[in-house]
Structure 1
C-alpha cells in the first residue's frame, strides 16, 4: 500500500511550500477563467488579506482525505501522472472535492463568501474538472518529495 496522502500532504514541515503551491494553482486557475470567476475571487480576497490562505488551510485536510482513495488506486498501478488519473476519473474526483467545499460553505457565516460561492456553484464542477491536471501534478510533487 502506498504511503497515505495525509502523511505527506499534511506534514507541517511541508506546510509553507505546499500553501504557496496551492495558492499559485488557484491563482493560475482563476486567471484562466472568465470575468465572473475573476470578480468573485477578487471580492473574496477583499474580505480579508489572508482569506485565501485561511480557506486553503481549512479545506486542505478535507481535500486530501477526499482524494486518498484516488491516490491509493493510482499507486496500485501507476500509469502516467496522478493528474492524468484524476482526469480519467474526473466525475468522481470533482464530486469528491466539491463535497468538501459544499460542506464548508454551509458552515460559514460570511455572506460575501456564501453569495460568491452560490453564484459559481452551478459551473463549479466544470472548473474543478479543468483544474484536475494541475492539482494532480501538485499532489504528486508533494506526495513523492
Structure 2
C-alpha cells in the first residue's frame, strides 16, 4: 500500500498548485459574495489559494489516506471515480481539515468568508471531488 504523504516531497508545490486550481474553480461556483471576497484576497496575494493548500496539504493527505487505501484495495479504475462514488465521506474528510484550519487561522476576514460558504460547501465541492482524486493519483504515479 502506498502512502499519500510521498506527495509532500519533490511534487508538493505542483500538487498544491493543481489542487488550488480546483479550489478556485469551486469558489467560482460559490456566489458573488464569496467570489468578491476571494478576489480581494487574491489582489493582496495572487498565490493565496496555492499557499493555503500547501499549508494544509499534510493534514489533507492524512485525512484522505484511508480513502486512498480503500481505493487501492478496490477494483475501481481511478481515484477520481472512487472519490466521486464516496464523495460524502471524502468531503467530510476535507471539511474537517478546513474547519480545523480556519479555527487556527485567527483571521476575521477568512472566518467571515468561510462562514458564508460553509453551509453550502459540500454541494459546492461535490462536482470537484473527482478532479481532486485525479490530481492525487497522477502525482502518486509519478512519485
Contact preservation (8 Å) 1:44, 1:112: no
Contact preservation (8 Å) 2:29, 2:124: no
Q: Given the two structures, how large is their TM-score scaled by the length of structure 1?
A: 0.87
Q: 2:8 is matched with which residue?
A: 10
1:104-139 deviation per Cα after TM superposition (whole angstroms, max 9, x unaligned): 111112111110000100000111222101101101
Counterpart secondary structure, 1:78: coil
CA RMSD in angstroms comes to 1.7
The number of aligned residues is 142
Q: 1:66 is matched with which residue?
A: 63
Counterpart secondary structure, 1:144: helix
Q: Given the two structures, how large is their TM-score scaled by the length of structure 2?
A: 0.88
Which structure 1 residue ranges, 4+ long, deviate > 4 Å from structure 2? Answer: none
Q: Are 2:134 and 1:137 equivalent residues in the alignment? A: yes
- Point out where structure 1 has 5 or more consecutive residues left out of the alignment: none
User: In the TM superposition, what is the alpha-carbon distance from 1:19 to its structure 2 partner?
Assistant: 2.6
- Point out where structure 2 has 5 or more consecutive residues left out of the alignment: none
Contact preservation (8 Å) 1:86, 1:93: yes
Q: 2:27 is matched with which residue?
A: 30
Q: Are 2:73 and 1:76 equivalent residues in the alignment? A: yes
